[in-house]
């Protein structure tokens, strides 16, 4: 009887491992106008039921995303300095989101890290026919009214949220 119980437990554990979704660690890098950016996150499967329950003020961790910046960029009139940041998306409504950068406290410093220090990025939200089946973050070049800027893109399901980063002027 003991062997049967162990066998069932082993079978359940193996089945769970085989059927579970792997969370892949991804890193995206970009370099422009002397500023280097490194964006890292874990992929997540799209969950329409969870997204339908989102309320105003909900903060999504974006796959535990972090952004490292070497240089200074601007967004929404705020300077974003060299450093490491957590990237989050805050729901203003089901279809309008704002990307936030939260400075990471240096390890061992006991320093403050929290919403009082968050930097809201100039953001735009869109929904469409395209469906990202997994969380997808990217750093892309702007175009049209964002030409010459860097776009931090978060795609999840039929939603896309973009944070707009202004780079230093060439030769500055």
Domain spans in the chain, listed from the N-terminal domain onward: 23-166
Q: Please, what's the b/e burial string for 11-21 (b: 16 or more CB within 10 A of its CB; e: otherwise)? A: eeeeeeeeeee
**Band of the pLDDT at 15, cuts 50, 70, 90?**
very low
Half-sphere exposure of 99 (CA within 13 A, CB side): 27
Q: How far, in Å, CA of 84 to CA of 18, rounded?
A: 35
Closest CA to 65 of 109, 121, 125: 121
Kindly report the pTM of this predicted structure. 0.80
Backbone angles phi, psi at 93, to 5 degrees: -160, 180
Q: How far, in Å, CA of 171 to CA of 152, rounded?
A: 23
Maximum Cα interatomic distance, the chain, rounded to a whole number of Å = 76
Average pLDDT for 91-107: 88
pLDDT digits (tens, 9 = 90+) for 133-164: 888 999 999 989 999 999 999 998 888 999 99
């Amino acid at each position: 009887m003991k062997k049967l119980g162990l066998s069932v437990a082993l079978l359940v554990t193996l089945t769970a491992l085989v059927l579970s979704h792997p969370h892949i660690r991804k890193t995206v890098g970009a370099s422009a106008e002397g500023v280097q950016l490194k964006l890292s996150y874990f992929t997540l499967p799209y969950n329409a039921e969870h997204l339908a329950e989102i309320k105003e003020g909900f903060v999504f961790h974006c796959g535990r995303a972090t952004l490292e910046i070497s240089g200074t960029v601007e967004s929404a009139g705020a300077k974003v300095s060299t450093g490491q940041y957590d990237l989050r998306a805050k729901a203003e409504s089901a279809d309008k989101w704002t990307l936030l950068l939260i400075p990471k406290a240096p390890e061992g410093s006991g320093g403050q890290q929290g919403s009082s220090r968050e930097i809201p990025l100039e953001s735009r939200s869109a929904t469409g026919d395209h469906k990202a089946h997994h969380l997808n973050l990217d750093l892309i070049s702007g175009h049209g009214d964002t030409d010459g800027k860097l776009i931090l893109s978060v795609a999840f399901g039929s939603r896309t949220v973009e944070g707009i980063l202004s780079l230093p002027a060439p030769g500055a």
